[in-house]
Structure 1
């Protein structure tokens, strides 16, 4: 969720019921070089907590030192190690999903970090590099032996990227041999799918990513469904736009109006998804340059929808 899970997004997710939110992954070298953009990504709003701050790297020395920086200089609750990112610029640095090919390295890196910090250390991994190199069970054993407090598993291989279908059978097998909590991830798009994952595969929790984009109600609905078996109603169009504008205002407070409006164009498309006749509105949003113009376009659209409903 790089470029998405900034404090503005995370706080909304938290308010809609997420038990734990995770920050954008940051480079160990970016931290150690004190890159201004990287250090800004380490900011944690107290209202978001508990929060997991994710780092990645290919060198034990730099990863440990970056983890120590996070441990000593941030108010994150958990340090999460990424060993699942499939992006070539990450794997070429021997980081992210490249670890999936070597359980020994998984153990060595996780053990080194967990021994060097006070905060709990967790890991996020995939099933394997490709269909011929699925080492998920060995990697889970290595991570938990190295000191991981919990393991999140995305049910795809690196070669799949984000295509195809997540394989929850492997996640279930990993849960059977795990001695630490397992968080399942991949293709959870409804509350019913979340419940099925917990009931059928035995995972301790589910991680929701893309399904929450522009739809934090899915988080609330999932929590309510797991607790009561009942599904809350879908939000009205105006409620969606109200939260979209709240999201924008929080992003403006962090990044300034120009950058926030530009970044929110994609988020607005997600918030508008499923609303009849929103295609032209998305095009108009992409041309806005200010918070006021952004709001005028969205609320004009909502008023049109409400008038249409009254006429029916």
Structure 2
């Protein structure tokens, strides 16, 4: 068994989210109590024939362990080769196979959630990677391509037989993308059947959601994605609530502004492709996400869209902190 599930542990994963869960954001979430991290997904072919930029997307720090690298592709042989290179170069705690991304640019390559239409091929990819590496292999899926082809139970059995050591399930179909509600009945049915841990994903956004799921569902852990994008403090709140039954005080507005500034500094220190160390225009969307539900957030986001440099951001943050500090 993967060690983070041992002794009845109930790990909280930060879900991999393209263009967002980079090494800097993962650092924020780890500090707030996220147990397990997974990189943004990377194309197997890019790791085999691409340059250093592809490898930078799977960078992580030692303190972010247990840490997984998520890879996607459609060829069992190429996926296995990419996994071998991942294992040799970055030595993650696990390698995760992306079979859930609903983006057309991924499914058009017969990868991501497109593999849910070919369960046997998905199983072959899993088996090929398991046989190619010594690192534990996990799989992330959606429940199916659409509501008429819910294949999560079948896929769960196949990947377990192929040697996967855990399965994460997003409770929506590919066609739903992120609309509607996650189908926890399907997730629960798969978790009850399989011997390997199943991690549930979908509509987990509050402490009470976690308590309810722990009481009602046989899943072995939870994966939190969009709810953490604007509020990484959620992991800390969940941990506190599970331990005490009380929801802790939320971070103050000045504390949130300090985190936004620190996030910008972390991004500048870890994103090597940007030559100007003071230019923050490329990270505006990331910074705006952290203003969710803050007072005057609409005007704040509009202002961030005009900020060019780290110095300007520092001045803006200082002005906001002065207004909100008692």
- TM-score bracket for this pair, using the shorter chain length: over 0.9
- State the distance in 2 between where 1:23 and 1:278 align: 29
What corresponds to 1:26 in structure 2? 42
Does residue 243 in structure 1 map to residue 255 in structure 2? no
Q: Which moved more, 1:288-297 or 1:19-28?
A: 288-297
CA–CA distance in 1 between the matches of 2:285 and 2:48? 31
Q: Which residue pairs with 1:269 in the alignment? A: 288
Task: Work out whether residues 214 and 244 of structure 1, in 8 Å CA contact, stay in contact via their aligned partners in 2.
Answer: no
Is the contact made by 2:264 and 2:287 (CA closer than 8 Å) also made in structure 1? no
CA distance in 2, matches of 1:139, 1:278: 42
Corresponding position of 2:82: 66
Q: Which runs of 5+ in 2 are unaligned?
A: 1-16
Cα distance, 1:258 vs structure 2: 5.7
The alpha-carbon deviation at position 175 of structure 1 amounts to 0.7
- 1:147 matched to 2:155? The reply is no
Q: Deviations over 1:20-66 (max 9, x none)?
A: 01110000011001333211112121121111110000011111100
Runs of 4+ with >6 A deviation:
none
Residue from 187, 193, 201 that aligns with 2:203: 187
**In the TM superposition, what are the counterparts of 1:171-250 in structure 2 within 5 Å?**
171-250=187-266
**Change over 3 Å in CA distance of 1:67–1:267 after alignment to 2:** same
DSSP 3-state at the match of 2:290: helix
Alpha-carbon separation, structure 2, partners of 1:164 and 1:259: 40
Identify the residue that residue 107 of structure 1 maps to in structure 2: 123
> SS at 1:114's partner residue?
helix
* Aligned match of 1:304: 323
Q: Partner of 2:141: helix, strand, or coil?
A: strand
Question: For residues 182-201 of structure 1, what are the alpha-carbon distances to aligned partners after superposition, in whole Å with 9 as ceiling and x for unaligned?
Answer: 10000101011012122211
2:132 alignment partner, one of 86, 110, 116: 116
Match of residue 92 from structure 1 = 108
CA distance in 2, matches of 1:243, 1:276: 16
Paired residues for 1:288-299 under 5 Å: 288-299=307-318
1:207 is paired with a residue of what secondary structure? strand
* Counterpart for residue 305 of structure 2: 286
TM-score by length of 1: 0.95
Equivalent residues, number: 307
Mark the runs of 5 or more structure 1 residues left unpaired by the alignment: none
Contact 1:198 1:206 in 2 (8 A): no
Matching of residue 53 in structure 1 with residue 69 in structure 2: yes
Contact 1:16 1:219 in 2 (8 A): yes
Question: What are the Cα deviations for residues 121-150 of structure 1, in whole angstroms up to 9, with x where unaligned?
Answer: 000000000011111100000011111110
Residues 264/190 of structure 1: CA separation in 2 closer, same or farther (3 Å cut)? same
Partner of 1:134: 150
Q: CA RMSD in A?
A: 1.4
Q: Is the 8 A contact 1:281 1:298 kept in 2?
A: no
* Secondary structure of 1:239's aligned partner: helix
